[in-house]
Amino acid sequence: MSLSVYLSGEIHTDWRDVIEKGARAAGLDVDFSAPVTDHDASDDCGVAILGAEETGFWKDHKGAKLNAIRTRTLIEQADVVVVRFGEKYKQWNAAFDAGYAAALGTPLVVLHAPEHTHALKEVDGAALAVAETPEQVVDILCYVLTGKLPG
Amino acid sequence: MSLSVYLSGEIHTDWRDVIEKGARAAGLDVDFSAPVTDHDASDDCGVAILGAEETGFWKDHKGAKLNAIRTRTLIEQADVVVVRFGEKYKQWNAAFDAGYAAALGTPLVVLHAPEHTHALKEVDGAALAVAETPEQVVDILCYVLTGKLPG
Amino acid sequence: MSLSVYLSGEIHTDWRDVIEKGARAAGLDVDFSAPVTDHDASDDCGVAILGAEETGFWKDHKGAKLNAIRTRTLIEQADVVVVRFGEKYKQWNAAFDAGYAAALGTPLVVLHAPEHTHALKEVDGAALAVAETPEQVVDILCYVLTGKLPG
Amino acid sequence: MSLSVYLSGEIHTDWRDVIEKGARAAGLDVDFSAPVTDHDASDDCGVAILGAEETGFWKDHKGAKLNAIRTRTLIEQADVVVVRFGEKYKQWNAAFDAGYAAALGTPLVVLHAPEHTHALKEVDGAALAVAETPEQVVDILCYVLTGKLPG
Amino acid sequence: MSLSVYLSGEIHTDWRDVIEKGARAAGLDVDFSAPVTDHDASDDCGVAILGAEETGFWKDHKGAKLNAIRTRTLIEQADVVVVRFGEKYKQWNAAFDAGYAAALGTPLVVLHAPEHTHALKEVDGAALAVAETPEQVVDILCYVLTGKLPG
Amino acid sequence: MSLSVYLSGEIHTDWRDVIEKGARAAGLDVDFSAPVTDHDASDDCGVAILGAEETGFWKDHKGAKLNAIRTRTLIEQADVVVVRFGEKYKQWNAAFDAGYAAALGTPLVVLHAPEHTHALKEVDGAALAVAETPEQVVDILCYVLTGKLPG
Amino acid sequence: MSLSVYLSGEIHTDWRDVIEKGARAAGLDVDFSAPVTDHDASDDCGVAILGAEETGFWKDHKGAKLNAIRTRTLIEQADVVVVRFGEKYKQWNAAFDAGYAAALGTPLVVLHAPEHTHALKEVDGAALAVAETPEQVVDILCYVLTGKLPG
Amino acid sequence: MSLSVYLSGEIHTDWRDVIEKGARAAGLDVDFSAPVTDHDASDDCGVAILGAEETGFWKDHKGAKLNAIRTRTLIEQADVVVVRFGEKYKQWNAAFDAGYAAALGTPLVVLHAPEHTHALKEVDGAALAVAETPEQVVDILCYVLTGKLPG
């Protein structure tokens, strides 16, 4: 058994690395994917490729749509979508991805600190697992793929 | 032509009333729906009906799932989903609903103040219209249904 | 808002009546449906209509398929599927219906006594609510439709 | 021609081994998959990975959802789903999987002793084959893949 | 409960009338539909409306496509598809409709004399009921809608 | 039998009126719909409702998306889509609608003068009927609904 | 570009061989599949594997369902379905497969002698090509894959 | 990450070559596909393979359907559809493909000169990117696959 796992959400901490290294260390057959995690490239891609805009709205619009070519393709191909909510920013795109995955019926794992439990209750309610640490996500993937529990 | 319109998101201002009254004043054939907008009922429904919980997590979980019976049914029945982002709270459920509607291919209208443009760029990028006022949403519905422009 | 609710499972107690009367008393706009609940008719329908069989297997087969014309049509039309597990029999058809509804993405409510919690954990895990009494199901429907909590 | 076959249900006898060995002996191009068949791991996975629970209900709930990440992914990828009903336990998860596969339109093979014929009539009615022994399932797979009959 | 029932196949005997009268006599809430049963109109419609053709192939082609506007719309709207195979002609369109309904997952009832059992085995194998007389089809509809057995 | 028919394409001749009057004269149960056919409103709707734009590209973009709320909703609800290609303009939106309907599997009727046959061969190839006059479209609808041929 | 092509229908002439050899000679990247073409095995498979039946009906029923495991899997995986109608038998299973493929939206090629044109008009009307010889089917596959015309 | 990209539309300039060479030079993992771009073969394929026709209409019809076997298969397999509108011809097939991709929910990139902005506003409105040069399409693919911006 192998899994395609899309890692959505926060791009300012190393949680993706922790999960990918943990999965590799455990010898799991997982194919990870993610949005573009270079914040500047992600913000500027629309105008850098398709030409400058006068307003922030259309600059953002062009960029968001280019990013959507990548993110929707990967979410639709994923067997599991993991969405991480961090400490900063509004992170509406993370919640948007969670809703997108939920509507597709794709298994959803949410990763966030306990203080966000109430604000994320709808998102958690649609998830098959709610983790607090990236290590737990590795344990989940390990269990799903091999039936082995940690420790 | 008639439309079923689901009004998702912020529950602390009267934006739904403004839209519903405007649509009625314009004689539009629209069937509006919404989540439960009584904040306390929405938070307590799970434990009030299905029994108390020791932890906030499971209280929220039970409640979120009961609310999902309503919200998913209505979103899946809607011809148009309008999602309002207000000034307070994380509003991840609003972004979740937007992602859900986008994955279903349902036309999406987003309603928010200009200062959230950058944070909402992925949500706006998936929308067929981005409005700043509820009156604009009425104008959109009026145009979609009748072909008439405002003024 | 109105709901089509399919009441699947146990046919030997009056739980359907309790729910239907409760919903009517609360003035809810619900259209209930159910499998054929006359046990003998349900068992005999195949051979009674399409001719006798020598073996129990084919008698059951013919009957099960006739019943499926009704049950699949109603499950596919339902907004909510409620599945009741009682005290007697194997009730594999109830679990089958729950799996069918889950795969369709239809909101699922499960109704059973606490002693079946462990045996029903996969079914409960796919549900948006797990109730112990038919009165709780009425309360759920009331909340979903009106936003009102009991009491 | 190759087939992905998901083997659902009973985890206390060696029926999966018999089928897998038989298919290998016959040189069939089949990719078998299954739920986690370690009963303890399957029961404990939720709390072992995501933290202890006070009540059996939530322990089971967490575990069932983790298992669902595996089982739904595999059922949705399967070309054929074989569901085995054994002699012990309620086995509602087996019937749930059968309903899930039926709703997806995936060919279903049911494997059970003749004494369960009446109780399983709805499940059998949705199946493309009802076998009594794992050897018959091997013969089915052999015929489907090669057109060769046994003996 | 009501049903939309599409009556496909043979157009040279009165089987549709028998079923419709029987359903009416039993007070069933069924909405019947059918292909155009005027043989000449059905054959000529393409050239009569869209202009003459030199060859039989294109005359038939134009007509078949006009008829498909009706038949596909009705089959896709039907809750149940009944397909009648009579004594004359190749009736490939009847078998085509049965395959179409099967792929949609619509419950299928087949109606034919016993001597066609072997030739129709694939079609019967996809059906939820195989009847020999139109009266049996009425009994099926009556049972599905009311739970009442004949006699 | 009734039909929902979407009339896409050319907005500068009276072809929609001819079809609607013809259908009414024939007493057909058809519910017609169409895009906004006021050319100026259709072009200006985006900026009139959601605010002015500096460039033609974004003015058009906003307008096209508002129009899509209407057109996609109606195309997805239609039983039959009729697409008219006239003598003027590029009419890429008409061909876009035809492709959209084809991908949905909705029966497609194309209406154009013979001189466009070669340029429209892919569109015609996806259609169930190719008409040259609106009167033929009325005859098609009449035949589909009643089985009656003209004259 | 590669294609999966399912060859449905007649099993008493060598048309599949002609197509497969022609495709191989042309160096085409095609993966052909077919039903079990051993007539006796196809008829007997149900009773040979799952036990004898007293009546022809249930013998046929069991066999048809086993064959459906193979045929539906292959039709659903195919990029193109070719259906051959020969000179003998009713061949309702061929027309059933054509209807099944049509409902899935899979490109359909029909292969038959000209004298069946009228009887097959509905099937031909749903096809993207109607050929008279297996060599034409090879030419079609060659053109689709390479853009090269014969000769 | 890899992408399947279908290049639809204009066949009289070298835009496909520019994109394919650019992607290769950038080391991108893209699998490009396209319609048959030999204009004469594309026009003649129907009659060359399946026999001559008296009228242009049926010649075109046969050819368009053969081409559809290729184009629909490739569009349905594509992760991204790029549609190029050139300077000549009506190019209704290009707009048809864009509508087809839009209805499938496949990310759409449109490539055209600025003077067609108004005429293509509906098509552009459904796209995730609107480019003016093939080099921009290469930059888009590069960014989507690698997160790297040009220059």
Residue D89: pLDDT band with limits 50, 70, 90: confident
Using an 8 Å CB-CB cutoff, list chain A residues near F55.
54
Q: Do chains C and D touch (3 or more CB pairs under 8 A)?
A: yes
Cα of A144 to nearest chain H Cα, Å? 23
Contacts of E64 in chain F (CB under 8 A): none
Residue A66, domain member (yes or no): no
Lowest mean pLDDT among G32-41, G86-95, H96-105: G86-95
Average pLDDT, chain D: 97
- 10 Å CB burial of residue B77 (0-12, 13-18, 19+) is middle
Q: Is the pLDDT of residue A148 over 90?
A: yes
Category of G67 on φ-ψ map: left (φ > 0), alpha (ψ -120 to 50) or beta: alpha
E9 band by pLDDT with thresholds 50, 70 and 90? very high
pLDDT digits (tens, 9 = 90+) for E47-56: 999 999 999 9
Instruction: Residue D124: name the closest of D71, D83, D68 by CA.
Output: D83
The Cα–Cα gap between B66 and C127 comes to: 10
Any CB–CB contact under 8 A between C12 and chain E? Answer: no
H116/chain G closest Cα distance in angstroms: 30
Task: Report the alpha-carbon distance of residue H78 to residue H30 in Å, rounded.
Answer: 11
- Give which of B65, B86, B78, B66 is closest to B34, Cα–Cα: B78
Q: In 10 A of CB H31, how many CB atoms?
A: 14
Phi, psi dihedral angles at A63 (to 5 degrees): -65, -45
What 8-state DSSP symbol labels residue E149? P
How many whole angstroms separate alpha carbon H132 and alpha carbon H115? 10
Average confidence score pLDDT of chain F: 97
C70 touching chain D per CB within 8 A: no
User: By the CB < 8 Å criterion, does C50 face chain G?
Assistant: no
Residues H40-63 have pLDDT tens digits of 999 999 999 999 999 999 999 999
Q: How far apart are the first and last CA of chain H?
A: 22
- Is pLDDT above 90 for A89? no
- Residues of chain F neighbouring E42 (CB-CB closer than 8 A): 147
Mean pLDDT, residues D82-93: 94
Check if E147 contacts C (Cβ < 8 Å).
Answer: yes
* C19's tokens: 């729910």
Cβ <8 Å between E130 and C44? no
Which residues of A fall within a CB distance of 8 Å from F54? 54-55
- Is residue A58 assigned to a domain? no
Give the mean pLDDT of E20-46: 98
Residues (pLDDT < 50) of chain C are none
Judged by a CB distance cut-off of 8 A, whether residue C69 touches chain B is no
Is F in contact with E (3 or more beta carbon pairs below 8 Å)? yes
Give the total residue count for chain G.
151
pLDDT greater than 90 at residue E101: yes
> Which CATH number belongs to the domain containing residue E105 in this structure?
3.40.50.450
Q: State the Cα–Cα distance between residues D51 and A150, nearest whole angstrom.
A: 12
Q: How far is A50 from chain F (nearest CA, A)?
A: 13
Q: What pLDDT was estimated at residue H69? A: 98
Query: What region, left, alpha or beta, does residue B6 occupy, with left being phi > 0 and alpha being psi -120 to 50 degrees?
Result: beta
Backbone conformation region of residue E51, classed left if phi is above 0, alpha if psi is from -120 to 50, else beta: left
pLDDT at position B151, please? 81
Quick one: pLDDT at residue A139? 98
Q: So what's the pLDDT on residue A138? A: 98
Q: Which chains touch E (3 or more CB pairs under 8 A)?
A: C, F, G, H
Residue C101 C-alpha, separation from nearest chain G C-alpha, in angstroms: 22
Q: A129-131 and E30-33: which strand pairing?
A: unpaired
Please answer whether residues A41 and A11 qualify as being in contact, where contact means their C-beta atoms are separated by less than 8 angstroms.
Answer: no
**Residue F150 in contact with partner chain E when CB distance is under 8 A:** yes
**Helix, coil or strand: residue H108:** strand
* pLDDT at A78 exceeding the cut of 90: yes
**G51 reaches C (C-beta below 8 A):** no
Residue with the two structure tokens 């009944």: E82
Cβ atoms within 10 Å of H12's Cβ, excluding its own? 11
Q: For testing the chain A interface, which of B92, B97, B100 should be mutated: the one with the most A CBs within 10 Å?
A: B92
The rounded percent of chain C whose pLDDT value lies above 90 is 96
Per-residue confidence band for G151, with pLDDT thresholds at 50, 70 and 90: confident
- D130 beta partners: D110
Residue H56 lies in a domain: no
Beta bridge partners of G32: G5
Q: Are the C-beta atoms of D139 and D148 separated by less than 8 Å?
A: no
- Using a CB–CB cutoff of 8 Å, tell me whether C60 touches chain D: yes
Residues of chain F positioned with their CB less than 8 A from the CB of E68:
107, 128
Tokens of D1: 């021609």
> For chain G, which chains pass the contact test of at least 3 CB pairs under 8 Å?
C, D, E, H
Mean pLDDT of chain B: 97
- Chains D and F touch each other (3 or more Cβ pairs < 8 A): no
Decide if B48 is inside a domain. Answer: no
Q: Tell which residue, D105, D134, D102, has the closest CA to residue D7.
A: D134
The per-residue pLDDT for G62 is 98
Using the beta-carbon criterion (under 8 Å), do E48 and F149 form an inter-chain contact? yes
- Domains: count for chain D: 1
Instruction: Please say whether the beta carbons of H85 and H111 come within 8 A.
Output: yes
Give the tens place of pLDDT for each residue, F30-86.
999 999 999 999 999 999 999 999 999 999 999 999 999 999 999 999 999 999 999
Q: Which of D61, D68, D102 comes nearest C100 by C-beta?
A: D102
Report the pLDDT averaged over residues A85-102. Answer: 95
Residue H89, pLDDT > 90, answer: no
Task: Give Cβ neighbours of residue G7 (< 8 Å, ≥ 6 apart).
Answer: G15, G16, G19, G32, G33, G34, G82, G84
For chain B, percent of residues with pLDDT exceeding 90: 96
Query: Are A107 and D41 within 8 A, CB to CB?
Result: no
Taking the CA of residue E97 and the nearest CA in chain H, the distance in Å comes to 22
B/e letters for B90-114, b = 16+ CB within 10 Å, e = fewer, are bbbbbbbbbbbbbbbebbbbbbbee
Write down which chains contact chain D via at least 3 CB pairs under 8 A.
A, C, G
Sequential DSSP letters for B58-112: HHHHHHHHHHHHHHHHHHHH-SEEEEE--SSS--HHHHHHHHHHHHHT--EEEE-
Mean pLDDT to the nearest integer, G57-66: 98
A49–H3 CB contact, under 8 Å: no
- Is G123 a member of any domain? yes
- Whether A31 maps to a domain, the answer reads yes
Confidence tier at B3 by pLDDT (50, 70, 90):
very high
Which chains pack against C, by 3+ Cβ pairs within 8 A? B, D, E, G
Tokens of E32: 């019947």
Q: Which residue has the tokens 């089809």?
A: E137
For residues A123-150, average pLDDT: 98
A58 touches chain F (CB under 8 A): yes
The three-state DSSP-derived secondary structure of F35-70 is CCCCHHHHHHHHHHHHCCCCCHHHHHHHHHHHHHHH
The closest of F122, E124, C86 to H9, measured between CA atoms, is F122
Asked whether the beta carbons of residue H68 and residue F125 sit closer than 8 angstroms, the reply is yes
Residue H105 DSSP symbol: T
- Residue G70's identity, in one-letter code, is R
Contact with chain H for residue G72, Cβ under 8 A: no
CA distance to partner chain F, nearest, from residue H27 (Å): 33
Predicted model pTM:
0.98
> How much is the pLDDT for H106?
98
What are the structure tokens assigned to F8, written together? 């896409």
Is C93 in the D-facing interface, judged by CB distances under 8 Å?
A: yes
The interface predicted TM-score (ipTM) is 0.97
> Given the DSSP bridges, would you call strands A3-9 and A80-84 parallel, antiparallel or unpaired?
parallel
Residues of H with Cβ-Cβ distance to F99 under 8 angstroms: 95-103
In angstroms, what separates the C-alpha of C128 from chain E's closest C-alpha? 26
Mean pLDDT over each residue of chain H, to the nearest integer: 97
F70 inside 8 A of chain B by CB: yes
Three-state DSSP class for residue E101: helix
Tell me, yes or no, whether B115 lies in a domain: yes
- In H96-135, the residues whose Cβ lies within 8 Å of chain G are none
Residue B146 has pLDDT above 90, yes or no: yes
Is the pLDDT reported for residue F88 higher than 90? no
Q: Tens digit of pLDDT for each residue in F114-126?
A: 999 999 999 999 9
Contact F149 E73 (CB under 8 A): no
Chain D residues whose beta carbon lies within 8 Å of the beta carbon of residue C123: 92-93, 96
Helical axes G56-77 vs G92-104, angle rounded to 10°: 40
Nearest Cβ partner for F143 among E45, E73, E74: E45
Q: Chains C and E: how many Cβ contacts under 8 Å?
A: 55
Element of type H or E holding H143: helix H134-146
Per-residue model confidence as pLDDT tens digits over F101-150: 999 999 999 999 999 999 999 999 999 999 999 999 999 999 999 999 99
Residue H12: which domain range?
Answer: 3-37+78-146
- Residue closest to E108 by CA, chosen among E122, E119, E87, E88: E122
Closest chain G C-alpha to D125 CA, distance in angstroms: 11
By the CB < 8 Å criterion, does B64 face chain F? no
Q: Cα–chain-centroid distance for residue D103?
A: 16
H-state helical runs in G30-127: 39-50, 56-77, 92-104, 121-125
Q: What was the pLDDT predicted at B113?
A: 97
Residue B88 has pLDDT above 90, yes or no: no
Q: Is residue E23 part of a domain?
A: yes
Number of residue pairs across B and C with CB atoms under 8 Å?
54
